Structures are given as C-alpha cells and as structure tokens.
C-alpha cells in the first residue's frame, strides 16, 4: 500500500510540474490564433473543429480568434504575442484521436494537449468528442497573460553630468515612494521590475533608450516625484509599487505598458 501511495504521489507531482511549466509558458502570450482550416482537414471548419477549438480556448480564459484577419492591431504589429493552433490527428478506421498543439512565432512548440479519443461512428460527433476530451484540462492551467517588461535605459538630455543645483531647493536626499494604485491594470502587480533611482535635487528632462540604443521617449520632469510627462504624446510615466508604468491616451483609449527603467 505504501508503494502504491508513493507511485500515486510521484505521478501527481509530475503532472503538477508539467501543468505549472505549461502555465508559465502560456502566460507569455496574449492571443490564440485558430486557422479557418486545419491542415489535416479537407475544408474550412470541417466537423466544426475550428469553431469548437476557438470556443474552448475562449471559454477557459484565453483570447482566441479564427483567421488572421480578425486579430487585433497589436497582434499584427507583433506576431510574437500570438500562439498558432494546430490539429494533431492520429485517427484510424475504428477510432478518432486528436490533440491541439500551440506554436509561437518561431515555430517552437509551447503547448501540446493530451490526445482525446472517441469511437462514435459519426465523424462530426467523434471529432467533437475527441477534441473536447483533449482540451478538458485547459482550466487547470490557470492562464493569465503577463506582459513582458520593455527594458529601457535613460540618459539625461542636459549633458553627461545631470546634476543641477537649484538655489531655491534645499539639498536633501529624495526618498522613493510608491504612488497610489487607482486606475492601474491588476496584471501590473504580477510583473517583476527593478527599482529606479532618481538624482536628488535635479530638475531635467530625460531621454529614454531601449535595449538596442534607440531613442523611444523624451520624458519631462513635472515637479512631482516619480511622475513624468512624455514629450509629444498624451502620456505620462509614473511609478506604482516599484513598477514604472506608461499611461498613454494618444490613440484615444487608455493603454498601459510596463517599463523597466534604470536612471543613469
């Protein structure tokens, strides 16, 4: 009996590790793209497999679309936000057996479901039963998209020595304090970031460069700690619980982006 318990515990831990690994990988991706026709099938949405696949992912907390033309704008700009769904079909004469595989923009396999099976003689019933069985564990993955941090470096736009002494400002260290949490997407709390250090008694603009050394923003000091305006944009950058956030209304709707900033 003890041996059986050890085997059961080992199997449970193995399954749990696989589930956690898949969940962490899937959380890096924002969308699922289901093709209008699987390569294994002869016609679009044969046996309603494409529509059912799309439905099951959306039902379990993913954001899924059928066909590239229906993807949102950010997916067109960055196709690495998207996982492409493919059908694995191992069906034979007496048994229908399918699974779903998700690949990223580099054609790397991120997730493969278990195989679902059916012995129903009607193809449409058998394929639907098998597909549902293959994706029955989607809810246990606890999918929750976490945006990747955009790494940026900042340099003062006022020369190599950014320290500017202002006679009207007393010389004392500026303490970094987190701002309030109102109006910020809850996902931001899940993102790891590095604390930024501000130069005391400095009033200046900063140039923000990405990891490739390209200038992406010019931010303007507002007179308030950890709050900057973005030049030529309807946007601000502020600090919330050790995370720097870009709040942008340049396109009308509020768009929040997490930034990893180091002040030089």
Q: What is the pLDDT of residue 226?
A: 81
Q: What is the pLDDT of residue 202?
A: 41
The last residue of a domain, from among 85, 118, 141: 141
Do 96 and 41 reside in the same domain of the chain?
Answer: yes
Do 56 and 130 reside in the same domain of the chain?
Answer: yes
Q: What is the dihedral of CA 246, 247, 249, 254, to 10 degrees?
A: 130
pLDDT tens-digit readout, 98-132: 999 999 999 999 999 999 999 999 999 999 999 99
Do 137 and 15 reside in the same domain of the chain?
Answer: yes
pLDDT tens-digit readout, 129-153: 999 999 999 988 889 888 876 555 5
In angstroms, the CA 32 to CA 84 distance is 6
Expressed as residue numbers, the domain containing 95 is: 2-141
Domain count of the fold of the chain? 2
Do 174 and 59 reside in the same domain of the chain?
Answer: no
Q: What is the pLDDT of residue 264?
A: 60
Q: Are 61 and 113 in contact (CB under 8 A)?
A: no
In angstroms, the CA 59 to CA 45 distance is 18
The last residue of a domain, from among 90, 106, 141: 141
Do 233 and 127 reside in the same domain of the chain?
Answer: no
Q: What is the pLDDT of residue 35?
A: 96
Q: What is the pLDDT of residue 135?
A: 96
Name the nearest CA neighbour of 87 among 63, 56, 60: 56
Do 233 and 164 reside in the same domain of the chain?
Answer: yes
Q: Are 49 and 127 in contact (CB under 8 A)?
A: yes
Residues of the chain with pLDDT under 70: 1-24, 149-205, 223, 263-264
Do 67 and 115 reside in the same domain of the chain?
Answer: yes
The last residue of a domain, from among 141, 170, 191: 141
Do 93 and 65 reside in the same domain of the chain?
Answer: yes
Q: What is the pLDDT of residue 19?
A: 40
Do 192 and 85 reside in the same domain of the chain?
Answer: no
Do 20 and 137 reside in the same domain of the chain?
Answer: yes
Which residues 6+ apart lie within 8 Å of 260 measured at CB?
149, 150, 151, 152, 193, 194, 244
End-to-end CA distance of the chain: 63
In angstroms, the CA 40 to CA 82 distance is 21
- Is the CA virtual torsion 82, 143, 147, 28 positive or negative? negative
Do 173 and 58 reside in the same domain of the chain?
Answer: no
In angstroms, the CA 60 to CA 33 distance is 15
Do 100 and 200 reside in the same domain of the chain?
Answer: no
């Amino acid at each position: 009996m003890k041996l059986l318990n050890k085997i059961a515990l080992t199997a449970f831990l193995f399954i749990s590790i696989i589930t956690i690994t898949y969940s962490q990988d899937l959380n890096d991706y924002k969308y699922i793209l289901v093709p209008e026709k699987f390569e294994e099938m002869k016609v679009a949405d044969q046996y309603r497999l494409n529509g059912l696949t799309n439905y099951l992912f959306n039902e379990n907390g993913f954001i899924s679309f059928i066909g590239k033309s229906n993807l949102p704008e950010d997916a067109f700009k960055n196709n690495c936000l998207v996982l492409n769904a493919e059908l694995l079909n191992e069906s034979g004469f007496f048994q229908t057996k399918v699974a779903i595989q998700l690949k990223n923009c580099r054609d790397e396999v991120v997730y493969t479901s278990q195989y679902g099976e059916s012995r129903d003689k009607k193809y449409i019933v058998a394929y639907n039963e098998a597909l549902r069985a293959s994706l029955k564990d989607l809810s246990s993955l606890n999918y929750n998209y976490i945006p990747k941090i955009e790494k940026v470096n900042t340099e003062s736009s006022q020369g190599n020595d950014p320290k500017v002494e202002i006679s009207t400002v007393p010389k004392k260290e500026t303490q970094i304090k987190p701002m309030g949490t109102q109006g910020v997407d809850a996902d931001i709390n899940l993102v790891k970031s590095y604390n930024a250090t501000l130069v005391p008694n400095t009033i200046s603009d900063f140039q923000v460069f990405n990891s490739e050394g390209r200038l992406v923003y010019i931010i303007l000091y507002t007179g308030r700690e950890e709050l900057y305006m973005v030049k030529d944009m309807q946007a601000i950058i502020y600090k919330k619980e050790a995370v720097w956030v870009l709040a942008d209304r340049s396109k009308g709707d509020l768009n929040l982006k997490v930034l990893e900033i180091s002040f030089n």
